Structure 1
Amino acid sequence: MKGFVKRLLDGADIDNGDVRVGIVSYSTKANVEFMLNSYNTKADVFDAVNSMSWKYGSTNTADGLRAMREEIFSEDNGDRHGVPNTCILITDGVSNINSRRTIPEAEYAKASGIHIFAIGIGLKDQSEINEMVSKPASTNAFAVRTFDELEDLDEKVLLRMNFLEKADTTEN
């Protein structure tokens, strides 16, 4: 998963400040790994990603989404007005803690202007993912069978994100 994140960010213009990155990890509890204004260089972001540790537990997607919306995308923590906010949610499980809050938390995030992409790994049922993502789910939800398959997914996600950015600039 760390390799996927770094491949996804490899072409991002972090060093010039065009792209800011924050990460929330979640299992039983949500944990803000770093904020949008924590690092100003790609090397520092990659070091922070490398130092993240896997946390065993259940799947509390609702709290992960809440932390992303309330903490990561806050002005005090580096969010900028007029800059599109994008979330790439990666999960290998259906919510089993606060599961009734998962879809409402995703709806709050989308209503606040956050575009949500989601990647389900090894999920038999994609319905929760499809409800969490920005519409249409056919272009914002991804499914892979194993973590190894993430290796080929970064380009697809980037293409969809680039399409989103182009659509945003043509609307303005």
Structure 2
Amino acid sequence: RAHPISFDEFNSNHSLISGCKNVHYDLVFILDTSSSVGKEDFEKVRQWVANLVETFEIGPEKTRVGVVRYSDKPTTEFDLGRYTTVEDVKRAARNIRYLGGNTNTGEAISYITTRSFSETSGARPREQGIKKVAILMTDGRSQDYVLEPSKAAHQAGIRVFAVGVGDALKEELDEIASEPKSSHVFHVSDFNAIDKIRGKLRRRLCESEDVFPQGLPDEYAFVTTFKFRKTSRREDWYIWQIIDKYGIPQVFTRDAVRAVFRSPEVADLFDRNWHKIALSIQAQTVSLYLDCKLIQTMPIEEREDIDIQGKTVIGKRLYDSVPIDVSMKTISTILLAIVKKNESIFRRLWPL
């Protein structure tokens, strides 16, 4: 029979997320604490903030974090740089006070522009080149105007992410968020779902805007040239697998994102000659190429973030995770703005 080979992966931006600890911001959370949120759901917001700050290295010369809560009026919970370790920031986040009241989002945005990102409140001078980022979370329509305050924030160099929950208006979130809107606006149905977007938001925060000003592409390719050695056997194996720091495959809900290739052409890999193998990973599909020939395209599920302390493993047996016995000449991971699912693109990029 044809021996299937599997592809396990969790995020197309694995190599860039591992560098997220090297991205330093002045980062302010703007949290809606109006009556519509409620104390029970606000507890989920506290934990969400605490989890998200783990993305960064916290410190006076690294990322500084501040929190502003608002309802009728905005109030500083803690200023940028007040806490200098990630554990201190997480502890403070879990103790953010709940207010209740109305939802004056526009006033809160003006507040962080003029006060929270000032040097007197812990922000670093403009000449240091530290990027300013604000993450606003709200669950409803603002009772004041948000467009002009948001424009002022953008003009002040503040990159604004807008996270809407439940009845939050898409049009209003678009007015609040920075460009491109597709990278800076998030919406979920309720507070039970906010953790589902944490990974996507973290990826956006970790991306290099200088290299990819419109955000990282969803498509990328993995390519290697290899051959099985004489000691290797025909058996099921993983082409590429991303594991966490404990060696466990990264999972989303119940299982890893997985595509199993069972085409008869896969058997040619076991002839102990050199072969070029390529995977084209896209938003909803993964394609396998052998020796520049498209073998099979498989659907894949939506992907989430991965453990930034994890590893990429190539060539493991399916049943016991023992590395397979192969020789390799080259390994490449290429992020592509456009990856065409056809034979010619691979012939141009990786000629035999």
Q: Judge same fold: TM > 0.5, yes or no.
A: yes
Cα distance in 2 for partners of 1:113, 1:4 equals 25
Name 2:84's counterpart in structure 1: 40
Counterpart of 1:167 (choices 179, 204, 209) is 209
Cα distance in 1 for partners of 2:168, 2:154 equals 25
The Cα of 1:170 is off from its aligned counterpart by: 7.3
Name 1:122's counterpart in structure 2: 166
The Cα of 1:20 is off from its aligned counterpart by: 0.3
Q: 1:40 to 1:111 in 2, by over 3 A?
A: same
Cα distance in 2 for partners of 1:45, 1:27 equals 22
User: Which stretch has the larger CA shift, 19-28 or 36-45?
Assistant: 36-45
Q: Any idea what the Cα deviations from partners look like across 1:16-59, whole Å, max 9, x if unmatched? A: 73100011101111111111021111122112112212111110
Task: Give the letter aligned to residue 18 of structure 1.
Answer: K
Q: After TM superposition, where is structure 1 displaced by more than 6 Å over at least 4 residues in a row?
A: none
Correspondence 1:101-116 to 2 at 5 A: 102-116=146-160
Q: 1:170 to 1:104 in 2, by over 3 A?
A: same
SS at match of 1:168: coil
SS at match of 2:90: helix
Could you say what the CA RMSD is over the residues aligned between the two structures, in angstroms? Answer: 1.6
Correspondence 1:87-102 to 2 at 5 A: 87-96=134-143, 99-100=144-145, 102=146
Q: Any idea what the Cα deviations from partners look like across 1:117-147, whole Å, max 9, x if unmatched? A: 0100002631000111001211110000100
Give aligned-pair identity as a percent.
31
Q: 1:124 to 1:40 in 2, by over 3 A?
A: closer
Cα distance in 2 for partners of 1:170, 1:160 equals 11
* Aligned length, in residue pairs: 166
Cα distance in 1 for partners of 2:147, 2:178 equals 11
Task: Give the letter aligned to residue 130 of structure 2.
Answer: V
User: Which stretch has the larger CA shift, 139-148 or 35-44?
Assistant: 35-44
- Unpaired runs of at least 5, structure 2: 1-44, 214-352
Q: Flag the structure with higher helix content.
A: 1
Is structure 2 residue 98 aligned with structure 1 residue 54?
yes
Q: 1:83 to 1:66 in 2, by over 3 A?
A: same
The TM-score, its normalising length taken from structure 1, stands at: 0.90
SS at match of 2:81: coil
Counterpart of 1:142 (choices 154, 177, 186) is 186
Cα distance in 2 for partners of 1:34, 1:124 equals 26
The TM-score, its normalising length taken from structure 2, stands at: 0.45
Rg: which structure is higher?
Answer: 2
Cα distance in 2 for partners of 1:122, 1:57 equals 18
SS at match of 2:100: coil
- Whether the 8 Å CA contact 1:28–1:57 is kept in 2: the answer is yes
